[in-house]
Structure formats: C-alpha cells, structure tokens
Amino acid sequence: MASSTPTPDSLDPRTDSGIPIAPLYTGANLAGWDPATQLGDPGKPPYTRGVYPTMYRGKLWTMRQYAGFGTATSTNERFKFLLGAGQTGLSCAFDLPTQMGYDSDHPRAEGEVGKVGVAIDSLADMRLLLADLPLDKVSTSMTINSTGAILLLMYELVAEEQGIPASAISGTIQNDILKEYIARGTYVYPPRPSMRIITDIFAYCSQHVPKWNTISISGYHIREAGSTAVQEIAFTLANAIAYVQAAVDAGLDVDDFAPRLSFFWNGHNNFFEEVAKFRASRRMWYKIMDERFGAKKESSKLLRFHTQTGGSTLTAQQPLNNIVRVAVQSLAAVLGGTQSLHTNGYDEALSLPTEEAARIALRTQQIIGYESGVVDTPDPLAGSYFIENLTDEVERLAWEYIARIDEMGGAVDGIEAGFQQDEIEQAAYDYARSIDNDERVIVGVNKFNIGQEPEPKVFPIDPQLQVNQIASLKKFKADRDQALVAAKLEELKTAARGTDNLLYPMKEALRANATLGEVSDALREIFGTYQPGR
C-alpha cells in the first residue's frame, strides 16, 4: 500500500486527468507557441481569454443558487429568500418523477415526490412555483431534460397569464438528453426521438422565446459520474456536435439557433486544471462552430457556460470543510470565465441545503466578486507558463477523444456502443482506488480524521408532502374538461407519428390542463421507452 504521507522523492504529481506536472514551467515549455493564434484578446477569437472584452469589469457573473424541494409553494418561498439575499438568477431542481415524466400519483413516484427537487405535475403547480416573481426581469434555469419541453411550455403559459410575452422571458432548460444516457439515467424515450424533441425546441424557441437558452449542454453530470476533466469537455462537446448536426439535418440554419446554445461545466478541486479546462473548452467550441459548421455569426461561436461546484467532491465527514472546497472551485470557475455560477451548500452530502448553508454558499460568490480583486481584469492568469501549457494539453487530449467518437459515427453511436460509459466507469474506478490506496488525500476522509463527529443539522422532509401533492393533483384533474384534454392528447400523438413540431400540440394540451405525466405518456405510446442494450 502506498504511504499516506508521500515524500518529495516519491511524488509524481498529475492532474485529475492524469496529465503529468513538470517540476518547473518556463518559456521553454511553450516553445513554438503563438499567443496571437492560441490566446488572442478577451472577446475575440479564439475566445481563450473569455467571450466578452471586459468580462467582469462591466458585470459580474449571474449568481445562482439551486432551489427546488417539496412543494411548489415551499420552493417559491426559497426563491424569494434567495432573491432577497442578493441572488441574481433562479435555478430550479425537480423531483425524480417530474424528471422521468410521471405524475405524483403514479406508482413509480411512490417515495420520491418532492425528495430531490420540486414536484410539478400541472399548470397549477407551475403557477404556485412562479407566484409573484418578476418573470420579465429574472432569469430562470431549470435542470430538466427528458421533460424539458413540457416545463418550458408551462413556464411560458404562466408568464402569458401574468401578462408577460414569451419574447420577454429568459432562462435555460438543461435539455441535454445525451448525457442522461451516458451518465445520469433520467431518460424516457430512445435517443433518436429524444433528439427530435430537442431540435423541435430549437426551432420553436427561435421563433417564440428568443431570449431562452434552449439547451445547457452538460458536462456537469458526466463529471459527477466519475469522468476526468478532459473526458468532461470531450464528451460534452461531442454531444454538442451531435445536437448541432441534428438541427442542421432537420433543416435549421446554424446561425438561427446556435447563439442560444449554452454549456454547463463542473467545478472540481484541481484548481489549475479546472481553469485550463474552461479556457480550452471555449477555444475548442470556436473551432468547431467556425470550421466544422461554418457559422457566420460570432455569437454562434461563443461558448457561454454556467458552472456548478462539484457535488461529488463534498464529504459527509467534517462537512464544514466543504465551504473551503466550494470556495476553491468557485474561484477556478471565475478565473476560467464563467457566465453564471452555482455554489453548493456545505451540507449537500447529507441532505438538501439548509437556509444557512445556502446563504454561506451565496456569500462565497459575493466575497469573490466584491472583495478578492480577481474580477478587476479579464483572464488574469493568461500568459502563465503553467496555465497555457495545461490549457493546450487539456485541449489536445480532448480532441483525441472527439476524433475517436467521430470514427464511431458520432456521440449517439458511441452511446449505443457504450463507449463513453465505459471510459467514465474506468476513470471513476481509478479515482476511487487512488483514495482507497491513500495515493490521493481527501481531507477528513482518509487523512486528518477527528473521530466521532457531532450530529449535523439537515433539511427536514415532510412525510405528508406526497399525500398532499396527490390530493391537489386529484382535484386538478377533477375540475377540468376531460374530453378536451383527451382530444388535445390525441393531436399530440398524431404529430408524434408524423414530422410536425411537437411543441405546438404539446402547448395546447398543457393549456387544456393535461398533466406532465399525461403528455409524457402520450409520447411514450408513440416513441416507446429506452432500455439500455448492453
């Protein structure tokens, strides 16, 4: 077994992606390196240094805190608490039944209603979720994938009821189904009809909801599943290529939808590799959109991204240590040029975040933004021998992965063959083994333990929640025009059998008070459900 206290002679430092770290970085490490080509200025190609010329000198990133638990009413209260504490954007989590397209009264929802996010079954729930919120002034991010179109349309319908046109609302739906097959598992339909829904969303929003980010192509959950930093950006960019190609193949002009694409990265503890990852991802996306897809608008070539600090890095042991981890990860995201940031609560390895933990997480961002000075100039680490070398190496290794996926026929073919899944499983195994062997130190876990720890305060779960939610849903269904709902669901099925854009009949079904589960079931009947073939 490796020594728990490595000596300098035994050190072989590497990043989390296995990139060797030289004893010293000098100009010789960048021999032949062209700053004009690989670096450029902030706000100019290839966007290594940031997508905007002044970055945070003009405006700080959007500070988001994830909320979503229990009922729509309780989540609405948390939204208002966070806005009152200085948060500048909303971010909503949904419970597993909502993510999987089941109403709260479905047998498969038993025991999961309101547990890891808010339960949204109907327009009535969405009205409660958004009550008294300035939807034309606040940007809302919704972490939802398989049922993303349904939640977006509910949001739009409630905004319309409040007198706010769809053209005035802004936000993001995650809507990244490919990473669900790779890493997370909240899929409903097979990959190819799921891709159809996504391209329909692109087309619909370009016409009706122009300020909405139609997809947040997510490396976050790929990293949470155990990938390396290199795999995170490689597999995510490969998925992005698949989405863009699918939309182009469906007849959309790349410049009509690409400016509303956004990305979602994970922030981990290996500080310099994380900064390099963010910088490399921007440069790679510029090349993909410019050279591979021939985008004409510069806005189509900008990789704008949200970052969330790494949930899988948080420990249940000595949970207050997580405040420091989150601060390190947040600083890396800011120095890497993120457009918005969510900081995890220190207690999230134990439960949903308490109000105290959510406030400290938000204060972490505010201290970085207002006290640290790192926002005073764009990309302050640019030109560092180490950072530039690491950025190049992360990019080189990520391109190698993309080339392998291209050889398979693209991301969907790779997923169906299990390639990305296998690579992530191996990386996760290697990481866990390095902790078990004491080759990697996790403070408070395999080193610097304190013995018996005090019982932590955790977020309470109301056992009556599911009963009340089902009762509300039952009343909602009883008070509607059942024949109208059935007719609108049939129209949705007809569209699914053909080639029409699905969002239009979906919206009308929801307007008629069809539930999220009923809309999902209508599409299940036509598309079937995905069963992994491995």
For the chain, what are the domain ranges? Answer: 8-67+174-436
Q: Going by DSSP bridges, is the β-strand pair 340-342/62-67 parallel, antiparallel, or unpaired?
A: parallel
- Residue 323: CB atoms within 10 Å: 17
Contact (Cβ atoms closer than 8 angstroms) between residue 468 and residue 128: no
Local structure of 266: helix, strand or coil: strand
| H or E element, residue 141 | strand 139-143
Residue type, 466: Q
| Residues 6+ positions from 304 with CB-CB distance below 8 Å | 51, 262, 263, 339
Residue 4's Cβ-count burial label (10 Å; 0-12, 13-18, 19+) is exposed
Q: Show the low-confidence residues of the chain (pLDDT under 70).
A: 1-11, 459-461, 533-534
Query: In CATH, what class is 8-67+174-436?
Result: alpha beta
The Cα-based distances of 106 to 101, 111, 185, 466 in angstroms read 10, 11, 19, 11
| H or E element, residue 342 | strand 340-342
Residue given tokens 């083994």 in the structure block = 433
pLDDT number for residue 11: 65
pLDDT number for residue 9: 39
Residue 121's Cβ-count burial label (10 Å; 0-12, 13-18, 19+) is buried
Taking the CA atoms of residue 495, residue 500, residue 501 and residue 506 in that order, the dihedral angle to the nearest 10 degrees is -20
Contact (Cβ atoms closer than 8 angstroms) between residue 303 and residue 286: yes
Taking the CA atoms of residue 127, residue 130, residue 136 and residue 141 in that order, the dihedral angle to the nearest 10 degrees is -120
The Cα-based distances of 202 to 7, 44, 167, 189 in angstroms read 54, 26, 15, 18
Q: What's the pTM?
A: 0.88
Name beta bridge partners: 264: 218, 306
Taking the CA atoms of residue 510, residue 74, residue 329 and residue 298 in that order, the dihedral angle to the nearest 10 degrees is 30
Cα(344)–Cα(401) distance, rounded to whole angstroms?
30
pLDDT number for residue 533: 63
Cα(53)–Cα(44) distance, rounded to whole angstroms?
7
